[in-house]
Amino acid sequence: MDILLSDGRRIPIEMHKVRVVQKTRLAPVDERLRAIEEGGYNTFLLRTRDIFIDMLTDSGTNAMSDNQLASMMVSDDAYAGGESYYKLLSAVKDVLGFDFCVPAHQGRAAEHLLAKIFVKPGSVVPMNYHFTTTKAHFEMAGGKVLEIYTDEALNTASSCPFKGNLDLHKFAEVIEKYGADNVAFVRMEATTNLIGGQPFSLANLKEVRKMASEHGIPVIIDCSLISENAYFIKRREAACKDWSIEKIVAEMMKQADLIYLSGRKSTCVRGGLIATNNPKYWEKLKAWLPVYEGFITYGGMSSKEIEAMAVGLREMTDYDVASSSPDLIEFFVNSMTDRGIPAVTPPGGLAGHVDAMKFLPHVPQSQYPAGALAAALYIVSGARGMERGTISMDRDEKGRDVYADMELCRLAVPRRVYSTAHMEYVADRLKWLLEHRDLVGGLEFYEEPPVLRFFTGRLRPLNDWGRKLAAAFKKDFGDAC
């Protein structure tokens, strides 16, 4: 939660005690330069030993609670019928309101199952915005992803509280153009990862549900960041300001025919699940789960993670847990904007995002400015973020780049892991980088996989700008930094 100080400032304060710590190290700039060169200027290919502050992702990097860790000690390792599963099933019923639930080893595994069940060649899947693995699974199944976000969604400097809303007028046009029978389902992502972790409102979700129901179209919610989306609804939607996080989550779930999530985010566990009250969907899930994941009571997860997920589902509706990441992200974004850094506003869930096209206006999209910014920031800070732009898009059928709607450097803020001092440090190094941005150039691929290239592709800096940047940094800060 955030508190008001006597000097008028508001700061996030941790509503937990730190009892176990993990040592980290700030490698000198020469080591960082060597590490990013060895990693092909792809921050995914850096080693942990070379990273000071890891802001690559909040997926599987969050701090678990004492109760979650304790629950893992009493897990039931039975291959079939394990009692740990029934604890998860109880939590899903109590918190989300669904009778049927299957675990999966992570969110993209759930997307694979949904693609098998719902998506057919020629069908369309409208959504408030795609995620990389979501789009890959649905398109490989022969479907077409339609992004029907609102006009404000791509405005990086905005005061719109719900840039993750789905445009209802565009939804109506999709139904008219393709026919309701060809709409596999409508997907709402909480919160929208690729456009800055922006939430949707409860009012918008209810309107989506109403329109979908009128045409017999299922509503599916990606609930990976449902706790944070509910927190934003409480903070930003006047009708819900007096509601608890638990009540908001429950009301959101009433609008869905099926939900899925990556447990690595809101529940702080490595795993995932799909839940529904529809017996027909349940039967189809049961048929495919053993083929791709495992038996229905473990679904590719360890029983220890299933126990911890059950606890995490209940804990995520605690206000102090739901607010922990968004409040620190807000502090981080404010720290950036106060220094003139073009961060995405309003602050969202998941991460602080920097608009790379504004930060590096001299680097064209064909030279991947978001990837260049992520690499440059690592060189000058030891902080690892990631690219969310054209590198995160796959090439078209003719081998041409598909330019992303936005070029963002994403700096994830894992829950209950870092402090305000870490955020201030990264913002300070971004300010130095902004003042020396002319030293940063573009990138080009020299190793490129055909799908999801951002994970393992390797790039090189045009005109060897990385070494020039490192030299300028050493001149100002010395070898020790």
Which tens digits make up the pLDDT trace of 182-215?
A: 999 999 999 898 899 999 999 999 999 999 999 9
Q: Give the tokens for residue 286.
A: 């049961």
316, 261 contact by CB (below 8 A):
no
2 band by pLDDT with thresholds 50, 70 and 90: confident
Which CA distances in Å does 311 have to 85, 95, 108?
12, 11, 22
Which residue's entry shows tokens 């920097």?
354
272, 278 contact by CB (below 8 A):
no
Q: Is 265 a catalytic residue?
A: yes
Which CA distances in Å does 306 have to 66, 82, 227, 293, 314?
15, 10, 18, 14, 13
Q: Please state, in angstroms and rounded to a whole number, the distance separating the CA atoms of residues 419 and 54.
A: 13
279, 288 contact by CB (below 8 A):
no
The beta strands (E) that lie in 206-318 are given as: 219-222, 258-262, 272-276
Residue percentage of the chain with pLDDT more than 90: 89
Q: For 414-469, what is each residue's pLDDT tens digit?
A: 998 999 999 999 999 999 999 999 999 999 999 999 999 999 999 999 999 999 99
Instruction: With H, G, I as helix, E, B as strand and everything else as coil, classify residue 218.
Output: coil
Q: Please state, in angstroms and rounded to a whole number, the distance separating the CA atoms of residues 66 and 270.
A: 16
7 band by pLDDT with thresholds 50, 70 and 90: confident
Catalytically annotated residue among 54, 58, 167, 222: 222
Find the mean pLDDT for residues 42-59.
95
Is the confidence at residue 327, as pLDDT, over 80? yes
pLDDT of residue 1: 77
Find the mean pLDDT for residues 306-329.
96
pLDDT of residue 444: 98
Q: Is 401 a catalytic residue?
A: no
Q: Please state, in angstroms and rounded to a whole number, the distance separating the CA atoms of residues 410 and 358.
A: 14
Residue percentage of the chain with pLDDT more than 70: 100
pLDDT of residue 456: 97
Q: Is 132 a catalytic residue?
A: yes
Mean pLDDT of the residues in the chain: 95
pLDDT of residue 17: 85
421, 479 contact by CB (below 8 A):
no
pLDDT of residue 478: 86
Q: For 345-399, what is each residue's pLDDT tens digit?
A: 999 999 999 999 999 999 999 999 999 999 999 999 999 999 999 999 999 999 9
Longest alpha-carbon distance in the chain: 66
Sign of the CA dihedral with 37 first, then 39, 40, and 45 last = negative
361, 383 contact by CB (below 8 A):
no
pLDDT of residue 146: 97
Q: Is 388 a catalytic residue?
A: yes
CA 195 to mean position of chain CA atoms: 10
Q: For 252-268, what is each residue's pLDDT tens digit?
A: 999 999 999 998 888 99
Catalytically annotated residue among 131, 171, 200, 298: 131
Q: Please state, in angstroms and rounded to a whole number, the distance separating the CA atoms of residues 31 and 52.
A: 12
Catalytically annotated residue among 43, 57, 61, 132: 132
pLDDT of residue 18: 83
242 band by pLDDT with thresholds 50, 70 and 90: very high
pLDDT of residue 481: 77
The beta strands (E) that lie in 24-128 are given as: 53-54, 100-104, 124-127
pLDDT of residue 372: 98
132 band by pLDDT with thresholds 50, 70 and 90: confident
Q: For 133-165, what is each residue's pLDDT tens digit?
A: 899 999 999 999 999 999 999 999 999 999 999
pLDDT of residue 226: 96
Q: Please state, in angstroms and rounded to a whole number, the distance separating the CA atoms of residues 306 and 122.
A: 36
Is the confidence at residue 93, as pLDDT, over 80? yes
**Beta-bridge partners for 136:** none
pLDDT of residue 60: 82
Which residue's entry shows tokens 């609008």?
255
pLDDT of residue 102: 95
Q: Please state, in angstroms and rounded to a whole number, the distance separating the CA atoms of residues 313 and 80.
A: 22
3-17, 162-176, 396-410: least confidently modelled range? 3-17
195, 153 contact by CB (below 8 A):
yes
